[in-house]
Chains A and B, each alone.
Chain A
């Protein structure tokens, strides 16, 4: 088995996948604790659907531009080249960011309450995204495309070097923000009114949290696909909360759990050729079950 693993790891694509996968798992688990505690876990879910919609738009734009530039002149070649080089993240990231900000605004005082607004946006973008792909996609295998966007399937194993660097950069930003504002994030998560009274701009930090969440959603789309992203965000946090009693303990445990699950899930999926996303999420679920049983046992003693 080890031989097979080392054989697989001789491919750069597999190494890229592992690097990006672990980073994404680390980021999502760090923020997951805050999101779960602030009752924001639904935001991750909603955003991932928005990201799916944006992804479809990106695909359609891609196809359309290619069609427009079908001639054999210099301009057409230049345009095709640009499209090939730019990542779909150029469209997905800003759209998801915008949705995050909008959702947070609607969470406060509006006529449509937070959860309803979220359901509306997420289901709406899911439907619109599927429709767009169906209508305009040039690909022969539309359901395969959709399936790979929703469940990730193989996209983590087809990352280019520039995508890896982009992911590493985004992950570094998320981790840095989390470390620098750890105190404030704790204060805002635990008690918004107190934080505000001591001069912390609570709404600003809520916005920051939403922005980081959308970054993570976009990053995680490659790893587990857009439907499974919230599993990556909430499971490690919930598992850690079963056993640990301090905020720091919960965060550290959640990070460790998430990284281990992502790593073992990735390797297992390569060895047994199972879908990456669902293998990782299954590992997360198993740990959650284990921790729940453990906490029951510990409480009894």
Chain B
């Protein structure tokens, strides 16, 4: 596992005023890093720094040679894009911008790359459609395809599921996990707890400082991780491979969940409990 991105004791900020201090993290190829933090904790500043748009005030950010060509970026959607008259193909091709350099038009390889990435994300049939007519989930796929045109090594996703309906959110998370399994490093900024489920590493930043960096297992075991997940969802996120929190489930879960669980097999086996939780959650999604 080659290290792609290392931050050593990095301080970030604007005009001499630090926003976040003491960032220490390492991203290796194939990792899936989820960056958590409340609003205003400096997530967007960190994103800018990782993209190389602002320098570190202190410490150093080291990029491996293979990603010096750029990071694939999925920014948050802007108002301008909502009614933008552009075809999907035009947008995906614009991901090749850096490869084309000062050449006024895209060449054959770049066009082929765009087609390939559209096929990879299952949007080839939308190529001639207008971006503003697509659903939120489809739009995100288009922007992901564009990011893949920029790089096949590492993607940086800024709150990718914001504004999507629950079904589209789940689909997008699965898609991102698939891309990650095919070897693309993922860095995802989120304040959505369900993002944690797919990540291999977690970076949690609070106001002004780094609270946690490590693997997801360690995070879930830590008191910080547990309290974050509980305050965000009303209960700990049960994952198949981690033991769900002991007994007090009935106290924290909603009545709906409790009723469904009671109607089911009961709460006897830990594994079954987790399965029911997942089932109920899906039910809520579809509702």
Determine whether the beta carbon of A194 is less than 8 Å from that of B146: yes
Interface size on B, residues (CB 8 A): 35
Determine whether the beta carbon of B70 is less than 8 Å from that of A246: no
Q: Which residues of A contact B97 (CB under 8 A)?
A: 183-184, 187, 195, 198, 200
CB interface residues, B 75-99, toward A, < 8 Å = 75-76, 78, 80-81, 84-87, 89-91, 94-95, 97-98
Interface residues on A, range: 20 to 34
Determine whether the beta carbon of B87 is less than 8 Å from that of A247: yes
CB interface residues, A 36-51, toward B, < 8 Å = 37-39
| Minimal beta-carbon separation of B65 from chain A (angstroms) | 16
CB interface residues, A 191-231, toward B, < 8 Å = 191-200
| Minimal beta-carbon separation of A95 from chain B (angstroms) | 29
Cα distance A139–B106 in the bound complex, in angstroms: 56
Q: A180-B104, A197-B53, A197-B70 are in contact. Are A245 and B90 (CB under 8 A)?
A: no
Query: Is B191's beta carbon under 8 Å from chain A?
Result: no
Determine whether the beta carbon of B87 is less than 8 Å from that of A190: no
CB interface residues, A 1-56, toward B, < 8 Å = 37-39
Q: A191-B75, A198-B70 are in contact. Are A183 and B100 (CB under 8 A)?
A: yes
Q: Can you list, as one digit per residue, whether each of B84-122 has a CB less than 8 Å from chain A (1) or not (0)?
A: 111101110011011010101110000000000000000
Q: Which residues of B contact A37 (CB under 8 A)?
A: 80, 84-85
Q: Is the interface of A mostly helix, strand, loop or mixed?
A: helix
If A190-B84, A198-B70 are given as contacts, then 12 extra A-B residue pairs at C-beta distance below 8 Å, sorted by A number, are A37-B85, A183-B97, A183-B100, A183-B104, A183-B105, A186-B94, A191-B94, A193-B73, A194-B146, A198-B98, A244-B85, A246-B130
Can you give 29 contacting A-B residue pairs, CB < 8 Å? A37-B80, A181-B104, A189-B80, A190-B81, A190-B86, A190-B91, A191-B78, A191-B94, A191-B143, A193-B73, A193-B75, A193-B76, A194-B73, A194-B94, A195-B97, A197-B51, A197-B53, A197-B70, A197-B75, A198-B73, A199-B70, A199-B98, A244-B85, A245-B130, A246-B86, A246-B87, A246-B128, A247-B85, A249-B85
**Interface residues in chain B, defined as those with a beta carbon under 8 Å from any beta carbon in chain A:** 51, 53, 70-71, 73, 75-76, 78, 80-81, 84-87, 89-91, 94-95, 97-98, 100, 102, 104-106, 128-130, 133, 143, 146-147, 150, 156
